[in-house]
Structure 1
Amino acid sequence: MTADALPLRRWPRRVGYGLAFGAAGLAVLLPSGTAGAGLFFATQVLTPARWYPLVVRSVVDSEVELTRTEDTERSMPLGLAWRGGHAVLGDVVRVERNTVVRRVTSVVRGSLRAGLRAYTSGSVFEGDPQSVHGLPFTSVFVPGELGHYPAWVLPGSDTWVIGVHGRGASRVEALRVLPTLAATGVTTMVISYRNDLGAPASPDSYYHLGATEWQDLVAACAYARSAGARRIVLYGWSMGGAVVLNALRNEAVPDVAGLILDCPVVDWTATLRMQAAQRRLPGALTWSAIRLVEQRIGVRLADLDFSSFRPAVPTLVFLDGDDRVVDPAPTRSFAQGAGARLVETTGGGHVRSWNVDAGRYERELTGFLSALG
């Protein structure tokens, strides 16, 4: 499961359609039934829970046998996490009827053994810049609206790249690209925001889908400027892209020289409708869930639609055509309208373009930053 993914639990068809169509004769039943289904979906959106859908069937030497899923069949680098442990998966060795055998590149923490329940992660790595890549960094705390937010700072020039991870993820999402960023000579700051582990919680403990988190990014940018940043490049993964776009649209971050987005949430309504359709939720239940999300965060999702927003800075967008977490169509429209450089891969899924073709990803990233001067 990717960082921003909702667990794919389909609403029972007989229940969903009973609620939707039964309203014609028993109108009083629809609000309560719809609210129940909508509440379940809305809660998944705003309070991500960690699920462990995979079973480790066996471990022999450097190979692990896992539950066969769309994700475990992807022959690309992935992380494998379980309670108390983390490993890095390499190539697919073979695919059986119900299982997949993959190479284990390394076991970073814990003991990988049969019987464990686990999940896959496109972030691949676990740890910090020094432990994973040998990159020197400083742990800092950024003062913000709700308290102090932990961040990593990797030293470099007075151009600062500020990375913003996705919903339910963490700073480790940036570990894949830190060596490339360091090689360009920029300073890199990877931030956290409200409701992250180790960061202050919002008053309601809900993610606000970028509607409030952008204020924590603004605080990080202010910190960067106080530490010597003269130009800032914003880099957002998934919901981090919505955070970045919201800050830019609010003109809250001066001195922005460039924008990098990886599978950003450009249109929350389109994304939630796509995810609801994958769970076979009837239209009435989807409508209810979206209204509940809006009620809980106090913002209309239409106000978090960036499809027609045109950033006044050079923009690089990564996208995987097989993204089933965030609707890719609004991102393509955004990139075209904004005159952005769009780099699209296939076969990876959400925020997995690096995993599909790390060489291409890193060349595009390096070239974009070099062109900024």
Structure 2
Amino acid sequence: MTAQAQVQPRAQLPAAAASRWARRAAYAGIAGAAGLAVLLPTGTAGAGWLLAGQVLNVNGNRVYPVRVRAFAGNRITLTRTPDTARSIPLSFVWAGGHARLGDVIAADRATVTREIEAVTRGSLSAGVRGYTSGYVFEGDPHSARGLPFDDVVVQGELGALPAWLVPPPAGPADDTWIIAVHGRGAPRGEALRALPTLAASGHRTLVVSYRNDPDAPPSPDRRFHLGHTEWRDVLSAIDYARSAGARDVILMGWSMGGAAILNLLRHWHHDGFLRGVVLDCPVVDWNATLRMNARQLNVPPAWTWTALRLIQRRLDVRAADLDYRPLADRLDVPTLVYVDHDDRTVAPWPTVEFANAAAEHVTLVETREAGHCRGWNLNPEAYEHRLSTFLKSV
């Protein structure tokens, strides 16, 4: 059955219902790491087209769902959302500004009051609108984490890809490199939370960019490809490391960065050059992830079906290509996988199934109540201990 036959026009929804959908999307944090910012129209058969566009769109509109209700001293009162009420390290980002949030001090049904650890850019006042982020740190390795680094350029197939090259803070570096790959729509700064642990391992760390990043070349169609072309830029980073003297590499990816690494493993015969893999809430199945997001927003299944078919057509892939679970039997290096069972951005159960299928090689770290790519935020010490132990073991 064609998409046109499958999806029937729907009556226009009341404005209140459309508004509820938009609020749910914003409050759920779906504009975050995986970037599935599904702000739906009031209804038509073209909704699937829009939904597919939101998933692949590089230049989506930023949503600012959280308002500052009050700000004084080191305390801020924000709109209550599932995120702002979560007492873990987060950042609050607004147009022109960034602040690190501390513990929750008080909460009621409408607001949450939290400590402010630092305002790192801009100025805060009541009425400012912004969004919460798990990245916490803003800046570069030195300004944010006190680590020395060099700005370098990786030559990708589409042009120059800026990267940070971070040496160990003490002692000479060995000849294993770590290549860190951020998620969809995220900055390189996503790696800043883990970067001190990576640097302390004794390895150089190359924090890379890829096509369609703000400081990197656009793809010809100016769309995200969900890892299906971005993996080539990761391979370019590997080639850079090899040419600079690396004996082997460890790959670490967050969210869609994990999907890019899994796509790389589909295409690259590493011949022993890959030493290990770390995946933090990777997108193991885009089909399951889009369906999960759609269910959370009460999107009609027909719209989701249409969106998935359009994504396949635009990327020239099959539905099976969006699911990496079959790769489990090809995994042949030690792999550390973080997953949170309360991830509302990327479907967690395919990751668990992937890890179980490759149990011979995978160490699975399971958490709850952290959300997407926020295992570090939930418990930095535990996250860093697991990561450090793994890096030493490989």
Assess same fold via TM > 0.5: yes
What is the CA-CA distance between 1:10 and the residue it aligns to? 5.7
Query: Which runs of structure 2 are paired with 1:193-208 in the superposition (5 Å)?
Result: 193-208=210-225
Instruction: Indicate the SS of the match to 1:108.
Output: strand
**Residues 123-272 of structure 1: pairs in structure 2 closer than 5 A:** 123-155=135-167, 156-254=173-271, 255-272=273-290
The alpha-carbon deviation at position 292 of structure 1 amounts to 1.2
From 9, 29, 46, give the equivalent of 2:56.
46
Cα deviation digits, residues 81-127 of structure 1 (max 9, x gap): 00111000010011122111110000110001111110011111100
* Contact 2:38/2:54, CA 8 A, preserved across alignment: no
1:298 aligned onto 2:299: no
1:189 offset after TM fit, Å?
0.5
The letter for the 1-side match of 2:309 is R
User: Is 2:105 the counterpart of 1:93?
Assistant: yes
TM-score (norm. length: structure 1): 0.92
1:280 aligns with 298
Distance 1:168 1:284 in 2: 27
Q: Tell me, yes or no, if structure 1 residue 320 matches structure 2 residue 320.
A: no
The alignment partner of 1:189 has SS state of strand
Aligned to 2:373, what secondary structure does the other structure show? Answer: coil
| Structure 1: gaps (5+ residues) | 16-32
One-letter amino acid of the counterpart of residue 319, structure 1: V
CA contact (8 A) 2:93 2:130 kept: yes
Q: TM-score, normalised by structure 2?
A: 0.87
In structure 2, which of residues 323, 327, 339 is the aligned counterpart of residue 309 of structure 1?
Answer: 327
Structure-to-structure mapping, 1:14-163, within 5 angstroms = 15=43, 33-34=44-45, 36-48=46-58, 49=60, 50-155=62-167, 156-163=173-180
Matched residues, number = 352
Match of 1:21 in 2: none
Residue range with higher mean Cα deviation, 251-260 or 312-321: 251-260
2:40 and 2:47 in contact (8 A); partners too: no
1:353 is the counterpart of 2:375: yes
Q: Secondary structure at the match of 1:309?
A: helix
Name the SS for the 2:88 alignment partner. coil
SS at match of 1:326: coil
1:7 aligns with 2:34: no
Task: Say if 1:261 and 1:316, in contact at 8 Å, map to a contact too.
Answer: yes
More displaced stretch, 291-300 vs 238-247: 291-300
* Contact 2:284-2:325 at 8 Å conserved across structures: yes
Note the C-alpha offset of 1:273.
0.8
* Distance in 2 of aligned mates of 1:253 and 1:126: 34
Shift of the alpha carbon at 1:350?
Answer: 0.4
Aligned mates of 2:342, 2:298 — CA distance in 1: 19
Does residue 357 of structure 2 align to residue 337 of structure 1?
A: yes
After superposing on structure 2, the runs of 4+ consecutive aligned residues of structure 1 that deviate more than 4 Å are none
Native 8 Å contact 1:171 1:191 kept in 2: yes
Is the Cα contact below 8 Å between 2:278 and 2:337 reproduced in 1? yes
Distance in 2 separating the partners of 1:135 and 1:61: 30
Offset at 1:303?
A: 0.9
The letter of the residue matching 1:341 is: T
SS of residue paired to 2:226: coil
Structure 1 residue 249, shift from structure 2 partner: 1.6
3-state SS of paired residue (1:362): helix
What percent of counterpart residues are identical?
Answer: 55
CA distance in 2, matches of 1:134, 1:285: 47
d(CA) in 1 for partners of 2:269, 2:187: 23
- Which digits, 9 at most, give the CA deviation of each residue in 1:163-220, with x for residues without a partner? 1110110100000001111111111011000000110000010000000000000001
CA distance in 1, matches of 2:196, 2:220: 36
> Could you tell me how far 1:11 is from its partner in structure 2?
6.1
